[in-house]
Amino acid sequence: MAGSWTSVGPDVHLDWDPRTGRQGLADALRDAVRTGRLAHGSVVPSTRALAADLGIARGTVTRVYTDLAAEGYLRTRQGAPTTVAAHGGPPASPPRAAASEPATRWSLRPGSPDLSAFPRTDWLAATRRVLHRAPSSAFGYTEERGARPLREALARYLARSRGVLADPERIVVCGGYSHAMFVLATALRERGERDLAFENPSLWIHRDIAAAAGLTVVAVPVDADGIRVSELDTPAVVVTPAHQYPLGMTLAPGRRSALARWATTTGGLVVEDDYDGEFRFDREPVGALQALAPERIAYAGTASKTLAPGLRLGWLVLPRALVDPVRAVLTAQGWRAPVMEQLVLAELIDSGAYDRHVRRRRTAYRTRRDRLLAALPRALSPQGISAGLQVLLTLPEAGPAERDVLAAARRHSLTLETLGPHWHTPGPHRQGLVLGYATPAEHAFSGAVEALSRTLADVLG
């Protein structure tokens, strides 16, 4: 028979057989601390409460607590609750990331906005309005495509800001772009597709997701005008036309037309990853490719770059023929986006607060980009500077190599990402750094740029 307590402190299951008495209870508590089920610093029940919960004498619990305090598992103080000692038994499994990669003070790794700039006040105000106005039924089970208020708000927002041709019936809310990629790749596989093309180079994580869904990943090269449409030989392709990741060019007008024509004439599917389309600095944003062939192009967007990746909110605007297949995948997964976050984002969009936040961040990120470019050595060639939250810094052919830059960066407590992993196959490729200038908090940006300058000075001589 096992016991548990619930009346005071954390609700923790104890693997304790009353027949084992005091020693068995002590062993059960030690195990709860060692495995992390009782977190360091957490309050444990009083001796009176635990004795009442377990149906044993209070004196037994008092003696067990005294023994565990002497062993360093518990901390007891007169007039204060008993807590788990901060230096008690360690958790059974320390985080693997901490062991595999030393922590650094600075980071210019791409893929994240400035999280300290999350619009907390606007989000809180929108949350209050949702809680005040939303009917109780809004918090029930939502349909697979997502909460209708968010799909309606997205349809309006995407039409005015990105030129997307959408209606709520064609929008599916997902748990970020990675989830959207997996769902879409799974739907393609289940309708008989086998291959999915990606630009070369492209973000390797997304290629791995497509492969995990059962598709064969095919590489299609890019040049200064974007993806080479003439080399497409698959039923579907993923592209980043507004700001190619990681090289940074915008898909040229002729290529945009050619890609839409390829999809229309061959019956192919284009997946448009518009991951940072709101952030263009030197001219008006380029409209979404989707409008050229809405029944052949699936548009994918996300709040990860405008707000925060931790929200796990992304969306697909699908050709009508793909709505039911994608919906079927979501049904099979049993997955739904958290309804509260969906309703708050819808309110943020409809109130205008989302647009205001994007405009503020666009100005702030342009200023950061300019500061970063001003600090770079003239010998290096930055690319993709007109848009987005990162730039590509191409390294000279004579060196240094990417591995040398990473080693120097570690010496200066700086985390960087290189171009190398983005190529589909190993071998001799252009080398460079993908610098995410949006990542640091505002107070840390100058330090990150200074660390980068010291790193480049080390390797360039």
| Alpha helices by DSSP H, 191-338 | 204-212, 253-266, 320-333
| CATH code of the domain containing 22 | 1.10.10.10
pLDDT the model gives residue 91: 38
Instruction: Convert the pLDDT of each residue in 186-218 to its tens digit.
Output: 999 999 999 999 999 999 999 999 999 999 999
Whether the per-residue pLDDT at 301 is higher than 80: the answer is yes
Residue where a domain stops, chosen among 354, 383, 414: 354
157 and 306, same domain (yes or no): yes
157 and 267, same domain (yes or no): yes
Does a structural domain hold residue 439?
A: yes
| CATH code of the domain containing 139 | 3.40.640.10
Whether the per-residue pLDDT at 13 is higher than 80: the answer is no
339 and 406, same domain (yes or no): no
Ramachandran area for residue 268 (φ above 0: left; ψ -120 to 50: alpha; else beta)? beta
Instruction: Convert the pLDDT of each residue in 239-253 to its tens digit.
Output: 999 999 999 999 999
| CATH code of the domain containing 380 | 3.90.1150.10
pLDDT the model gives residue 7: 44
Closest CA to 196 of 424, 428, 366, 456: 424
Whether the per-residue pLDDT at 452 is higher than 50: the answer is yes
Q: In percent, how much of the chain has pLDDT > 70? A: 92
pLDDT the model gives residue 9: 54
Whether the per-residue pLDDT at 430 is higher than 80: the answer is yes
pLDDT the model gives residue 336: 86
30 and 59, same domain (yes or no): yes
Does a structural domain hold residue 54?
A: yes
Instruction: Convert the pLDDT of each residue in 261-299 to its tens digit.
Output: 999 999 999 999 999 999 998 766 789 999 999 999 999
Beta strands in 202-244 (DSSP E): 216-223, 226-227, 236-239
Residue linked to tokens 């640091």: 440
pLDDT the model gives residue 60: 84
330 and 402, same domain (yes or no): no
**pLDDT band with cut points at 50, 70 and 90 for residue 320:** very high
295 and 427, same domain (yes or no): no
55 and 188, same domain (yes or no): no
193 and 332, same domain (yes or no): yes
Nearest-angstrom CA–CA distance, 187 and 325: 6
211 and 258, same domain (yes or no): yes
More confident residue, 72 or 385: 385
Nearest-angstrom CA–CA distance, 219 and 313: 28
Least confident of 12-16, 125-129, 150-154: 12-16
Contacts of 131 (CB under 8 A, 6+ apart): none
131 and 74, same domain (yes or no): no
265 and 176, same domain (yes or no): yes
pLDDT the model gives residue 149: 96
Q: Which whole number is the average pLDDT over 427-432? A: 87
Q: Which whole number is the average pLDDT over 405-423? A: 96
pLDDT the model gives residue 425: 86
Q: How many domains does the chain have?
A: 3
Instruction: Convert the pLDDT of each residue in 30-67 to its tens digit.
Output: 888 877 778 877 888 888 888 877 878 888 888 888 87
pLDDT the model gives residue 93: 36
Does a structural domain hold residue 101?
A: no
User: Containing domain of residue 406, as a range?
Assistant: 106-115+362-460
Nearest-angstrom CA–CA distance, 265 and 420: 35
**Which pair of structure tokens corresponds to residue 227?**
């993806």
Q: Which whole number is the average pLDDT over 413-428? A: 92
**DSSP assignment of 125-156, as one string?**
HHHHHHHHHS-GGGGSPPPTT--HHHHHHHHH
236 and 164, same domain (yes or no): yes
Whether the per-residue pLDDT at 162 is higher than 90: the answer is yes
**Residue 50 to residues 20, 81, 250, 404, Cα–Cα distance (Å):** 16, 13, 65, 58
Instruction: Convert the pLDDT of each residue in 170-180 to its tens digit.
Output: 999 999 999 99
Q: Which whole number is the average pLDDT over 421-448? A: 93
Q: Which whole number is the average pLDDT over 87-95? A: 39
pLDDT the model gives residue 99: 41
Whether the per-residue pLDDT at 28 is higher than 80: the answer is yes
pLDDT the model gives residue 1: 43
Q: Which whole number is the average pLDDT over 295-313? A: 97
> Exposed, middle or buried by CB within 10 Å (0-12, 13-18, 19+), for 141?
exposed
Does a structural domain hold residue 98?
A: no
